[in-house]
Structure 1
């Protein structure tokens, strides 16, 4: 293949060089270090071509799971299969270089003494020199950096360095690309741009992508599915809409949104609380529950809408300007704790003003046995 053919295959003239995406299956994965359990009974499957985020707080086991998929770590027990081929279990272990898996590190891991071109070629050691250069230039073209081939990493911006790392990862056309918080080192505005460009490219070339992040908003934006981890265990694995709208418990709900949470008791099919009664199916009489309302689902107003419930009188305690939204702290008679609301900054209420309050039905979540 000559340079022009490689460029065409990688999409530099409007076509896209596709990878053969692979599915990944984790079955009963456990991992311990120094007798400390890091992962416990992890079982889930990623379909070919999916973008899946591993989400959770620091220490949840996200990076360890990614390293097991890459072959950098070996699980204590369980089975890992890529494209229906077992690559790691109690009896066998396929090394990283034979898994057709790409890995992109958080710090990009670029070699400062090598040019951009040579950095990308580093991932193509299995090819002859000329063929590796052709493929590396094609990958650089695909990420828009063909004119930076002879530059060194220190001559590039953070976003450009991220794209070089991406070019190096995709140059071998892996079936699976594993990314460990690849956007965390970028400032907010640049992060959105680079992230959108990266995910768009990965979807075009068809690579299965597994991405570690601790940012719920990032996971919601880019993922086909999200694996939410806590203390080495799976909390929930589903589409972003499901995790946001139907979290399995209070912890999962709080991970994706700021919540107002009040104690309630079930009576007559309703969760009765100091801020009103809410429809609650599937609970037992006198059962204690936690009623949660997203801050974005609290409405401050004078008129009542049929889309909202629990019209109450409240007093404004404080207002904080956050740019596109204002954060209000309000007090409701009979409720000891403050209630917070995020509303459009175009609507303004004064400190001490008496207002009407209602709650959007779709932003009310009720969980059992929380107290």
Structure 2
């Protein structure tokens, strides 16, 4: 699979993102060393940070995805490089292990011409007791223009945004948010359907502990999708169950429903997203066993067949094949799991570019 996957262009008319066709070619003026390529794409962008998608408007989400389409064109070149962020220093500050997100941000920055430096919690001053604020001040002192940050504490990126003057991008904070995952998921869905108005998206798995689920609920409902979350009651947030009937809308968000029966929820769905079940949940009080979870909630070929004929299957990774998703489904023609990984590169390039070149 090729890394670039052009999806959207000029979406601010709120029509189908594919209708406008591919992104325009880069002019010779754009290639001039006197100005950075794509500067026009960021000319009126004002947001300095990406902390969660709930802070983005619908138009801002579509703007990021439109810019990702231009970045996908770069990835299709024989030499996938552009000097758009030449002279910029980006730190990837990851306090949690990551393969997909960290490598995607690292490659995105390098393709754009930035200097990218990785800092992890292990083997750094963090292990010696340095606080987050001290670490951020150190990065600012050595010239960080942007910090891509993953942290186990929910809200840590907000603290970072108040601490240093550079741009902060949330790459996952605790159980709270994972905005770039939600953006790349929207990118894939818009490629499939053009417009998400009225589309039925089912998210099944550990909703309670999933920052991916939270961010996807925000982004997909802003784009007009009807979201159904499916999980055993112990894996649903209290706000989705307490004081409300099971199928009533939670969290004061429109177009969101709660189900505990996947076989009922999946009927006619346009897309189904499975979430990773963490092993520690299976042997404790929340779930009896992986076998019992799989019996009721695993995405199997039989269950996917009950969705719409055009339905696609998604998973943010890493997968527990045989638990939340069957092996044959994970690698089926309906699966867009590899495409999600590929789309993440273009989307993260777009985020870096817009915030750094356009953010006030």
TM range (shorter): under 0.3
Higher fraction of helix: 2
Relative CO higher for 1 or 2, CA cutoff 8 Å, sep ≥ 6? 2
TM-score under structure 1 length normalisation: 0.27
Who wins on radius of gyration, i.e. which is larger?
Answer: 1
**Higher share of residues assigned strand:** 1
* TM-score (ref. length: structure 2): 0.28
